[in-house]
């Protein structure tokens, strides 16, 4: 199998997972697509090295995180921040899943990129603080600070998310 075939197979099998990761990190479908595209361009340029390391997905995710941290393009704010978030509308079936997703997306958009990355790695990927610090080339204390500040911000701007966890 050639490097090109190997890369195409990787994108076909793991592309959707990378897109989900990018969306969780950016909170915007357009930006997520851009992030995945830029990440895959960088990965394709050194695909032989990536596959030689043994775990191409981990390496590609690292490229994605580094790419996100170094983005200099202006970010589009899709929500206007307000002091008070609207109360979720009552539904006959009692479901507010869609509303919670909107609130979560808005709240994640108010975090700094580093806070979003740390929260993603800690709580979505379930990595220990030391491993997050190693991936981000920073100290464990920095990871703790970003996690603390990010969670504090989420609790402030979206307290209804906690109500679903702790009714």
Instruction: Specify the pLDDT at position 144.
Output: 94
Fold of 97-165: Arc Repressor Mutant, subunit A (1.10.10)
Supply the mean pLDDT for the chain.
80
Percent of the chain at pLDDT above 70?
79
Q: Is it the case that residue 93 has pLDDT exceeding 60?
A: no
Instruction: Specify the pLDDT at position 130.
Output: 93
Instruction: Specify the pLDDT at position 84.
Output: 64
Cβ-based neighbour number of residue 59 at 10 Å: 18
Apex 162 CA angle, 33 and 104, nearest 5: 20
pLDDT tens, residue by residue, 45-56 = 988 888 888 888
Q: What dihedral do alpha carbons 21, 24, 26, 29 form, nearest 10°?
A: 80
| Entry pTM | 0.57
pLDDT tens, residue by residue, 62-79 = 888 888 887 755 555 455
CATH architecture designation of domain 3-70? Orthogonal Bundle (1.10)
Segments making up each domain of the chain, as ranges: 3-70, 97-165
Q: Is it the case that residue 91 has pLDDT exceeding 90?
A: no
Instruction: Specify the pLDDT at position 97.
Output: 65
Say how far apart CA 53 and CA 129 lie, in whole Å. 23
């Amino acid at each position: 199998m050639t490097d090109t075939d190997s890369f195409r197979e990787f994108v076909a099998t793991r592309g959707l997972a990378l897109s989900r990761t990018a969306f969780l990190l950016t909170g915007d479908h357009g930006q997520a697509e851009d992030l995945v595209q830029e990440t895959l361009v960088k990965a394709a340029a050194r695909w032989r090295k990536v596959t030689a390391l043994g775990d191409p997905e981990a390496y590609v995710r690292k490229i994605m995180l580094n790419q996100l941290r170094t983005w200099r393009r202006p970010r589009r704010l899709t929500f206007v921040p307000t002091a008070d978030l609207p109360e979720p509308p009552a539904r006959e079936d009692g479901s507010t899943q869609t509303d919670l997703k909107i609130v979560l997306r808005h709240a994640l958009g108010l975090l700094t990129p580093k806070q979003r990355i740390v929260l993603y790695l800690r709580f979505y990927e379930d990595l220990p603080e030391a491993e997050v610090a190693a991936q981000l080339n920073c100290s464990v204390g920095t990871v703790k600070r970003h996690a603390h500040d990010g969670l504090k911000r989420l609790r402030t701007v979206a307290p209804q998310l906690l109500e679903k966890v702790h009714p």
